[in-house]
Structure 1
């Protein structure tokens, strides 16, 4: 949560940077892309590093870098320095997640692995959501230099993690090697992992498409106010948080593949039904859509780590970062389609993506080899 607060704050700072530093909309968009690219797309590189040479200190150092970068945005003297601060913050986020996901795997090993990872995932979702709620009042009260206060929660949590590192290291499995935790009986399954990555990419396209256009859809297609559209988006994200807490324990009990496949099968008809509903009923559908979309984020991270037991940092970097970043990049062509054919067309198109995801999910093995949970 303390890490992703910084990523969530980026979008909230853009209007202030536009008003007080005179940056253009295109420049603001470049900042968002820089944040996404540095925090998501390069995560697998940190995962490869942590698999070859585990470095638990990346967790507190990543949080500290994320907080330092975002705290300096408000006092950076020019656009280039602002961009570099955003990149520093994003790289801190990227450095934190693979190593942190490794230890989330260790401390929740056994029959409750997906449940444990769901708590880890909810923390990130919460941080991303409250980032704007923290950054906006600071800038309103203190001006852009108010971003300096963002270093405080990052420094505090970084200190806590540094203090906790010796205890966390005790959770590493006894048979784990220094190069990622592979036991002699475990083998990496690249075929299922690649298909899983494509499932995550399909899901991420749906997620970022909705996050980008739900508010506009309510305003321009359904004729509501902007505030009503933002409320609908908030309810969808809250539904996602609730779905994460439900999907994790269900995956431990019923199997990872079953829960992932069920979410994909539910998502397609829910999206189609949403495209036919009015504002009020559409909110109910959006809550269920959020639960089906966001709810399996933790499940797919666990599945990826089980398919690549010798590269769990890399697996987390791909399932939590790279493939999600691809989904975010997909929002750009979806916006172009919306400009030419309308937002309703985009929503209907999104309904077909989970069908592809469901077919791919169906081809996944019920359980990873040498894994005790499916």
Structure 2
């Protein structure tokens, strides 16, 4: 690609201004992507009843989906950093399309695992490359850009249970195929984004690689590794807890309060919708007051509410779930941008690692809590999982890098 193919004014535009149309487009495709993926846990009650699956098998389905995504994402992100492909996003969405169609007709455990594995492969391409696009369009407002991108995913995740309650539960497994229309729409939008992305790659090629990849925080490699390890532990505490809520909250409500399947799906939607709102808030607040403080307040701040949830009545349980979703979800945008600030020039790899860690820990957490629920009870796993946000206290060990980077 010729370095002279893009005029200088566009280079200046990409460097200094936030490209909101691209951010909104990538937000919409993230919404569609995660909406389709969230159909998987949303239809667990239907699959469990239809095929007689155990909770352990439900956990394995989630494990396969999230592990295919998590194991491939760091490699996909590293490859994207070195060899960006503008239309790889649209190609990745084709895997999701194929997986959805297969899931709608799967007649056994093995085919269901293959279908969710294909959907996971689509996710492994989408998230790291989309994070690169979001930062490229950020105009320097990386927290805001990541939040706009991320809120689409959370909104899509929230819509999954709602659409499952309205469509899949009444009309059965075959109706999952209707979500293929969303995949086709996403592919169309991602081709448009790919056209813009292709032009921006020429702009990036005009810049010095050293200028985009040189850290400005002054931390040693050892301190960077230490900070990344702390972020990994925080992601563990957040997504192990969210795995319990996302995959077993409906069963908890049905078991403890005798709620219907549809009613429990609406409550899960409320939790996930609050999570979407919290995600949008976290990034801009992190740009303003510092990402470390957002991370601290998000994870540790959720602990008092998670500790109360297993012992509350139905109304308070729903209210607490909404508060927890709002508070605990605000951390991820701040965590991801903080991590990319630690290692600038490796946005795809870092995004792949942390999205992969998110999915992988979510899958392991789902399998673990499913196994534990079979051995004990649904109510017991909620009493245990409430302790996880207390790990947020280690955020205090993270170095303060915002003040150093903002001086540059």
TM-score normalised to structure 2 length: 0.78
**Structure 1 equivalent of residue 181 of structure 2:** 152
C-alpha change, 1:178 and 1:87, in structure 2 (3 Å) is: farther
Would you say the 8 A contact 1:135–1:150 is kept in 2?
no
Q: Partners in 2 of 1:18 and 1:339 — Cα distance?
A: 13
Would you say the 8 A contact 1:251–1:299 is kept in 2?
yes
List per-residue Cα deviations over 1:208-251 (Å, max 9, x = no partner).
Answer: 12223333434444x34245544443322222112112222211
**Structure 1 equivalent of residue 232 of structure 2:** 197
C-alpha change, 1:220 and 1:4, in structure 2 (3 Å) is: closer
Q: Partners in 2 of 1:12 and 1:235 — Cα distance?
A: 13
Would you say the 8 A contact 1:41–1:325 is kept in 2?
yes
C-alpha change, 1:5 and 1:277, in structure 2 (3 Å) is: closer
Within-5 A mapping of 1:170-189? 170-171=199-200, 174=204, 182-185=212-215, 189=224
Q: Partners in 1 of 2:139 and 2:305 — Cα distance?
A: 33
More helix by share: 2
C-alpha change, 1:178 and 1:217, in structure 2 (3 Å) is: farther
Query: Which of the numbers 124, 127, 149 marks the counterpart of 1:120?
Result: 149
Query: Which of the numbers 83, 95, 116 marks the counterpart of 1:65?
Result: 95
Q: Partners in 1 of 2:167 and 2:252 — Cα distance?
A: 30
- Give secondary structure in 2 for the equivalent of 1:42: helix
C-alpha change, 1:218 and 1:99, in structure 2 (3 Å) is: same
1:129 correspondence with 2:151:
no
1:326 correspondence with 2:326:
no
Total equivalences in the alignment: 370
Query: Which of the numbers 346, 371, 374 marks the counterpart of 2:405?
Result: 371
Deviates more, 1:61-70 or 1:160-169: 160-169
Q: Partners in 1 of 2:364 and 2:214 — Cα distance?
A: 38
Query: Which of the numbers 297, 310, 323 marks the counterpart of 1:288?
Result: 323
- Give secondary structure in 2 for the equivalent of 1:56: coil
**Structure 2 equivalent of residue 297 of structure 1:** 332
Would you say the 8 A contact 1:2–1:154 is kept in 2?
yes
Q: Partners in 1 of 2:324 and 2:372 — Cα distance?
A: 22
C-alpha change, 1:191 and 1:56, in structure 2 (3 Å) is: farther
C-alpha change, 1:274 and 1:181, in structure 2 (3 Å) is: farther
Q: Partners in 1 of 2:215 and 2:323 — Cα distance?
A: 40
Structure 1 residue 76 displacement after superposition: 5.5
Would you say the 8 A contact 1:7–1:35 is kept in 2?
no
List per-residue Cα deviations over 1:274-314 (Å, max 9, x = no partner).
Answer: 34432222322221111122222222121221122132112
Structure 1 residue 364 displacement after superposition: 0.9
Query: Which of the numbers 369, 382, 388 marks the counterpart of 1:347?
Result: 382
Would you say the 8 A contact 2:250–2:264 is kept in 1?
yes
C-alpha change, 1:180 and 1:271, in structure 2 (3 Å) is: farther
List per-residue Cα deviations over 1:29-56 (Å, max 9, x = no partner).
Answer: 5433322222234311211221222223
Q: Partners in 1 of 2:250 and 2:167 — Cα distance?
A: 25
Would you say the 8 A contact 1:219–1:229 is kept in 2?
yes
C-alpha change, 1:161 and 1:355, in structure 2 (3 Å) is: same
**Structure 1 equivalent of residue 116 of structure 2:** 86
Would you say the 8 A contact 1:190–1:307 is kept in 2?
no
Within-5 A mapping of 1:1-374? 1-12=31-42, 24-25=53-54, 29-75=59-105, 80-110=110-140, 112-134=141-163, 146-171=175-200, 174=204, 182-185=212-215, 189-221=224-256, 223-226=257-260, 229-338=264-373, 342-359=377-394, 361-367=395-401, 371-372=405-406
C-alpha change, 1:84 and 1:260, in structure 2 (3 Å) is: same
Q: Partners in 1 of 2:272 and 2:243 — Cα distance?
A: 11
Q: Partners in 2 of 1:289 and 1:18 — Cα distance?
A: 27
C-alpha change, 1:71 and 1:178, in structure 2 (3 Å) is: farther
Structure 1 residue 134 displacement after superposition: 4.8
Would you say the 8 A contact 2:78–2:346 is kept in 1?
yes
Deviates more, 1:340-349 or 1:60-69: 340-349
